[in-house]
Amino acid sequence: MSDEVSQPAHYKLDDIECIDVMLFVFGRTAVRWYCVLNAFKYIWRHTRKGKEDQDLSKAIWYLRFAVKDDPRRDDGRQGKD
C-alpha cells in the first residue's frame, strides 16, 4: 500500500503515530471499534471524493488493523496490545 494509505505523514508526530498513542490511551477494544467504524466511513464515501481506490484501501487498512494484522509491519503482527 502507498504511504498515503499505510502511513500518511500527517498521522505522525515525531516518530509516534496517532494510532499507537490511541492504543496506549484507550486500549485495544476501543481502537478496534474505532478502526471498524473508520473503515465503514471510508467505504460509505469512497465514490464521493474521486479517490475510490485510495478510500477502499484505507478501509482495508483499518479492517486489517482491527484484526491485529498491522499493515505497517512486514510480518503482519500488531505489536503492542
Q: How far is CA 61 from CA 36, 38, 46, 51, in A?
A: 10, 10, 14, 15
* Short-list 75, 48, 61, CA closest to 7: 61
> Does position 31 have pLDDT exceeding 80, yes or no?
yes
Global pTM reads 0.79
Mean pLDDT of the chain, nearest integer: 86
**What single letter denotes the amino acid at residue 56?**
L
pLDDT category of residue 37 using cuts at 50, 70 and 90? very high
- By the 8 A CB rule, do 78 and 68 touch? yes
In the beta sheet, which residues pair with residue 13?
A: 16
Q: Where are the alpha helices (H) located in 2-81, listed in sequence order?
A: 3-6, 18-26, 28-44, 52-66
